[in-house]
Structure 1
Amino acid sequence: MNCRSLSRLISFVLSFLVMLSGHPDVAIAARHDPDGGDDVAVVEHLRIKVPAHAREAWLKAEQGSWEPWLAKQSGYLGRDIFWDAEQEEGILLIRWASREQWKSIPQAEVDVVQARFEQLAREATGQASSHPFLLQFEGELVPQ
């Protein structure tokens, strides 16, 4: 296993531990870049209400909206998506190279992607007017 693969595995395990802890103030360690420096400056942390019966619809809406858009953003390093069966919540940990790159994304762009996500979610769940996946928490984690 090369250093980059090991680094990604460690990042995934740490992200999973954050999700299991259930505490929004837990910070994760940065992934070390073998070429020098740490490549994660901040982790966007989101919790979304996702009823068990709509879990697949939520994932499909994520894949059709946020996933391709995020991949094109400057500073985006990747994300981990979890589902907490007990709380019926989706947990997203989105890694950014810098807080400035993350926060420099125009709100109008975010709103367009959110509208697409909501459209796909309504189609996948059969809900014509209401939004099936409500944001429960939005925060950020800083490597220590």
Structure 2
Amino acid sequence: MVIELLKFQVPPEVRENYIQKDAEIWTTGLAKYPGFLGKEVWINPNDSTELIFIIRWATKEQWEAIPSEDLEMIEEKFTQAMGKSYPIVELAEYQVRKFPYS
């Protein structure tokens, strides 16, 4: 499994709308592709502007197989719904490794 971590700075007054629109547009859009396993939204209790999205993919190859045109279309729809763009302030990728337990 591969984890995609995306961090955004979103004003507190639009945070709930941002999360709702993200679920409606981004999560629904990504869920159509093979390899999408799920998504979590983390809210930083010490910084009301910080949102972290954790997206789980079965493989990196499936994640990277999503056509860039499709991602651009989803982003455009999301930006229109929000009325502006909120750029990613940090992104990272992690591999999940499972170890056998004795």
User: How would you bin the TM-score normalised by the shorter chain?
Assistant: 0.7 to 0.9
Residue 48 in structure 1 maps to residue 1 in structure 2: no
* Aligned-residue offset at 1:83: 1.5
Residue 99 in structure 1 maps to residue 52 in structure 2: no
* Aligned-residue offset at 1:43: 0.5
* Aligned-residue offset at 1:134: 2.2
For structure 2, which runs of at least 5 residues remain unmatched after alignment? Answer: 98-102
Q: Which amino acid is 1:95 matched to?
A: R
Secondary structure of residue in 2 paired with 1:65: helix
Q: Which residue of structure 1 aligns with residue 100 of structure 2? A: none
For structure 1, which runs of at least 5 residues remain unmatched after alignment? Answer: 1-40, 123-129
Please list the CA deviations of residues 64-89 of structure 1 after superposition, one character each: whole Å capped at 9, or x if unmatched: 21121111110000011112243311
Give the structure with higher Rg (CA).
Answer: 1
Q: Which has the higher contact order (CA 8 A, sep 6+)?
A: 2
Pairwise CA RMSD: 1.3
Which stretches of structure 1, 4 residues or longer, exceed 2 Å deviation after superposition?
none
Percent identity between matched residues is 29
Q: Which amino acid is 1:137 matched to?
A: E
Q: TM-score, normalised by structure 1?
A: 0.62
Determine if contact 1:75/1:102 at 8 Å carries over to the other structure: yes
Q: Which has the higher strand share?
A: 2
Q: How many residues align?
A: 96
Q: TM-score, normalised by structure 2?
A: 0.86
* Aligned-residue offset at 1:56: 1.3
